[in-house]
Chains A and B, each alone.
Chain A
Amino acid sequence: MRTKTAERLRSAILAYLVIAVSLCFFIMPMLWIIYTSFRTQASIFTGEIVSALKEYTLENYATVLMVTDFPAYFLNSIQIALSVTALSLVCAILGAYGLSRFRIKGKNLMIIGIFSTQMFPQVMLIIPIYLIIFSLYLLDKVPGVVLAQMILVLPFQVWMLKGYFDNIPMDLDEAATIDGCSILQRLVYVILPVAAPGIMVAAFYSFVVSWGDYLIVSIVSQSQRTATVTLIIARLTASLLVRWGQVAAATVLTIVPTIILFSFVQNQLVAGLTAGAVKEE
């Protein structure tokens, strides 16, 4: 019995050690950038960790929000990410429902096909995609960015939602069919309410991926009209004399929306992301 207690204690100490190191490594960089965003340029350049109280300021945020074009990029990002989320959700819900509930010729091939597109190098796909977007007259337009970004999120969403729908008993569908529901009514009134947590995660996933995309935006966007926050923070750090206080403020503003959304879905996130992986158990 005593060895058992000793083993428990050893595990607990070791576990807390892992947790402490993880907290330092995974959380500290975010705290540091938040901290920096409230410091003056002068105090950042002292190379000290702590500075006098008067060296803390909201000036960086004021400059980023009032003087620079950051708010315009922020709105672009919001517009693009919301559009990608809405469009991809509609496509993925319909597609996953079709693949989960109907006997379709070549279904397995479609599933493998949709998923294996994840393997294609995006840096190569973007070349023809650029030419397609160009010939559709959608270069430097929001719909062009949105359409191109769909390929980043759709395969995973379909795979994930299909996993979710597969776990919903068929009896529910059958009961609704007997009640005279059409296919779309079945989907909207029976499946969607049950799958709501999965759909939330799918929506979160596509918002975050679209918000964080750099590759597609850097090609399809050509001006301030469609440039996003990721593009602008990358550009800020590339300049010669970097105003780190402002960069930090812009970075914090870029991170905040994703963290807020994350706080809503964190409990469902992993179950949702791995729904396709655990269903066969």
Chain B
Amino acid sequence: MTNDRRGFLKQGLLAAGAAMTGGIVGKVTSANPVPAASGPLSTSTGETVHAMTSSGRVVHLTLASVATAGGSQAMAMAAADATGRAGVPGKKWIMVIDLAKCDGCGKCTEACGKMHFIPPDRQYIPVLVMHDAKLESPYFFPRPCYHCDNPPCTKVCPVNATYKTQDGTVLIDNDRCIGCRFCMAACPYGARSFNWGDPMGDGGQEAEYSPEWGYPRKMGTVEKCDFCPEHAAMGILPACSSGCPMGAIYYGDENEDAVTNSAGDTVRLSTFLKDRAAYRHMENLGTKPRVYYLPPIHRQYPAPAEPKEPAK
């Protein structure tokens, strides 16, 4: 792990190699694929974006500084998508979680929590301990939102407050949400949390609200993992992915057929999924998740202790 973001990005580029088709890390310096559909807003200055360094520190950057860091794309993105509803044209964000690499340290949960100022009563990406059958070994199982292609949550929303953008991300507009919590009941994965009380004490109050980062929180609305769209716009991995010391969480663009992890390994998505016998959790539900798991075989860490029966 490098602590310096530029170095981290460079490493990613090197790892990707000359034949790289353009993973998320590579995009920072690659030709800008985002059309200049940004309109007059792109000239606005002084807007800040939130980013996390690879050491897990949250920094607030002005758009201008992000642009000089190599992301004119970020500026275009942030401006083109002021409502947070459009998504990035031409992109299909995707995540691959290598369960063989996950040692259950919980750094992804932690990094995500810092990044989104998450209160202690919820986790966007809990690391669950799975134990499917007595004779099978338990394994760690990070569970983000699956950003399903057939999302049961957006289907039932009465006011289109939760929606799917063109880049495949499922987001929530908390200026729209009426707090009926139907999406929470509909999500079979328990990915959604609710702001039951007044979230005024939580962090992120100084930011301007956008569905792309979900804070400052609003009482009586639903929230969840958002795949860190503003990170994607800047060509940075999501907080959980960059925060994973094992490099277990890969993220990238399905259209580019490449995913990258925090170690800077960029791999060809299609062969990676095939070679490693990837699967999606509960395929039988028909939700078509955008998160793939690689089975926990040839693990690089001791198995978790067998979980006790949940205190139901």
A and B associate: no
Q: Which residues of A line the B interface, CB within 8 A?
A: none
